Structure 1
Amino acid sequence: MAYSIVKHVEFDWTDEKRCRVFFVKCHSCYKESMHLTFRELDMVASNTAYQRWHFNLASDVDEGATLDDAMFYSVPTSFFVLDVRVPRVLRDLLTEAEGCLKSNFLTGASACARKIVYELAQVENATGDSYEDRIKSLKSVHPEVEPTYFDTLLTIQQLTSTKVHENSYDGWEARHLRIILAALSEVLHELYVLPAVRDDRRKAVLALQKELGGEKAITGADDGDCNEQDGQ
């Protein structure tokens, strides 16, 4: 997701440690978030007419995961703020899940992830008694959403609270939950944000067409008046 750094400052966290604060604007929802880190992160300006700053990271790294690991405190919790067009209950759950993951509370993060699927199924009238059935139902109801996102979410069924609590989750780590939360975020974006954006653009085009039609009508009337005068 596109973003830009609108401001950054530094201060002394301790006598020997500096803390860096970045204020970041999301180009999707146009909201700003604050992020604190002890790491030195390079910035680079985009080579455009409107100079925008962003983090200068290697091209072969996962930018979202790298920045998430670098920031020890963020407000809101999510590095990229969820659009307000996503239902509040889903936004709150995803924010809570990311907060748990940030603190390495895997039990809480996994519980929130499963709760999101349950609430999403309720909102979208998906059917099924199990998480797998609900996710498959969502996949069939919304073919416009990238299917691999739903396939990724199917792994939620492997992650029960008991397994996470007892550390018997067969290789599951925070990075696996991060993938699930990223997939959930993309599903929510495609379900609730993209359609609204398309509708806004459609309305804008229709408004321009209507305006153009009005201009043509006025021009036509003026031409008619001129013809009448010429006839006289």
Structure 2
Amino acid sequence: MSDQSHLDSKYFIDTHVFNCPFCNRNNVSYYLDRSLEFDWSNSKKCYVYFARCTSCDKKSMNLSFEEIELIHKFSSSYRFNEEVGDDIDSKFFYTVPTSFFTLDTRIPKTLRELFSEAEGCLKSNYLTGASVCARKLIYELAIIEGAEGENYDERIKSLKQKRQDVEGEYFDTLLTIQQLTSDKVHEESYDGWQSKHLKLILSTLNEILGMMYVIPTLRDEKRKAILEMKGDLVGEPKQNA
């Protein structure tokens, strides 16, 4: 069977299923709640499509410069015409939530907000803004984790030492990008990353944040659930695990 993992990086897989950015479910059905259009400029129209997840019932907003044909399904619900094919995702240039998947609420709010702002700037090609948000996220993460350092490199190295539960290659990636893209002596003169660098940085930060704040909690919850099942089986009184 061919590798279909590339589908996990899309919003829309086809006219019937998508990867929901809210409930983080893959290959779940959706329908279109409604669509709108507005004038992007004097000569260009922009079309807005609201996709509602059938699992969590939340709506995402998707913008396209192309009018995509819809077919009426039931009540006030629609689907994309099947003649559009499976290449629906490429027709959209901006989507809200801007992050492909909303970050887990176990991650500190400050970091989630900076991550989302960085991705939003990147989607709009505001590279300086995206770079500033990504760097500030790293500084805030260093503060939360008690990492030390006067600049970007030193903070990353300190984080790597403090959080050895996170694979070191992720921190090395952040260091490598900085070293490859900046020869500025003073941090105040730094003028930002390119889009390809930002995509890698944000993907790396997403993994780091998950390893730091999400995976340990999930492990603890599973451990408690297993201990509770064991207690029920052998008749042990319930207690705080």
The interval holding the TM-score normalised by the smaller chain is 0.5 to 0.7
CA distance 1:184–1:198, shift in 2 (3 Å): same
Aligned to 1:128: 149
More helix, by proportion: 1
CA distance 1:188–1:162, shift in 2 (3 Å): same
RMSD over equivalenced CA pairs, Å = 3.4
Aligned to 2:116: 95
Confirm or deny that 1:8 pairs with 2:34: no
Aligned to 2:62: 36
Partner Cα distance (1:18, 1:153) in 2: 37
Partner Cα distance (2:195, 2:125) in 1: 7
Alignment match of 2:127 (pick from 87, 106, 113): 106
1:105 maps to amino acid = Y
**Structure 1: 5+ residue stretches without partners:** 41-55, 59-65, 216-232
CA distance 1:5–1:97, shift in 2 (3 Å): same
> Is 1:3–1:24's contact at 8 Å kept on the other side of the alignment?
no
Shift of 1:96: 0.7
Partner Cα distance (1:77, 1:33) in 2: 13
TM-score by length of 2: 0.64
TM-score by length of 1: 0.66
> Is 2:94–2:124's contact at 8 Å kept on the other side of the alignment?
no
Aligned to 2:13: none
For the pair shown, the structure with the greater C-alpha radius of gyration is: 1
Confirm or deny that 1:73 pairs with 2:97: no
Confirm or deny that 1:145 pairs with 2:174: no
Question: Taking every aligned residue pair, what percent have the same amino acid on both sides?
Answer: 42
Shift of 1:11: 3.4
Shift of 1:148: 2.0
Aligned residues between the structures: 184
> Is 2:145–2:159's contact at 8 Å kept on the other side of the alignment?
yes
Alignment of 1:1-232 (within 5 A): 3-9=26-32, 11=35, 13=37, 20-23=49-52, 32=58, 34-38=60-64, 71-154=92-175, 155-156=177-178, 158=181, 162-164=189-191, 172-214=193-235
Aligned to 1:62: none
Shift of 1:205: 0.3
Partner Cα distance (2:201, 2:172) in 1: 10
**Structure 2: 5+ residue stretches without partners:** 1-7, 9-24, 39-44, 69-84, 237-241
Aligned to 1:227: none
